[in-house]
Amino acid sequence: MQLDQSGLEILDEDECRALLARAVIGRIVFTHHALPAIQPVNFALSDGDIVIRTSRRSRLATAASDTVVAFEIDDFDAEKRTGWSVVVVGHARHVSDPADAAALEALPLRTWAPGERDHFIRIRPELFTGRRIADAA
């Protein structure tokens, strides 16, 4: 087990991908009007890519088009003071190919927010970082 300078376990890419595959909620980090923005979203994976469903006119769809974004997932146990965090950096793009969009419709990805969500954003992961804090006992 490799530790960082703070004593946190460093998660390798395989472990980060495994945790990503089990998560259903994440936070996308993007730039909106030259300022950082973070938005919680539900997501699914398709061929290793992170897929988000949103409205075509949403702030997210407008800002996260053909740009680099970060995507974060985490889990923790406040009582035990344990947890982990994974951050993925990659290019986000609108899904414009009708065949690709039709295939993504089959994913178990139903938005929690009300309203029409007829648009997909695909994030191709390029960089994974992860940390875990374990029970000290």
Domain of 84 in residue numbering reads as 9-133
The answer to the question of residue 52 being in a domain is yes
Q: How many degrees, rounded to 5, is the angle at CA 65 between CA 40 and CA 48?
A: 65
The answer to the question of residue 4 being in a domain is no
Taking only the tens place, the pLDDT of each residue in 35-76 is 999 999 999 999 999 999 998 888 888 888 889 999 999 999
The answer to the question of residue 91 being in a domain is yes
Taking only the tens place, the pLDDT of each residue in 108-125 is 888 777 777 888 999 999
The answer to the question of residue 1 being in a domain is no
Please give the residue that has the higher pLDDT: either 109 or 86: 86
The answer to the question of residue 123 being in a domain is yes
Cα–Cα distances in angstroms (integers) from residue 85 to residues 22, 33, 56, 59, in the given order: 13, 27, 29, 25
CATH code of the domain containing 114: 2.30.110.10
Neighbours of 129 (CB within 10 A): 16
The pLDDT of residue 137 is above 70? no
The answer to the question of residue 103 being in a domain is yes
The answer to the question of residue 2 being in a domain is no
The answer to the question of residue 60 being in a domain is yes
Taking only the tens place, the pLDDT of each residue in 20-34 is 999 999 999 999 999
For residues 28 and 126, what is the distance between their CA atoms, to the nearest angstrom?
15
Of 105, 28, 101, nearest in space to 63 by CA: 28
Count of structural domains, the chain: 1
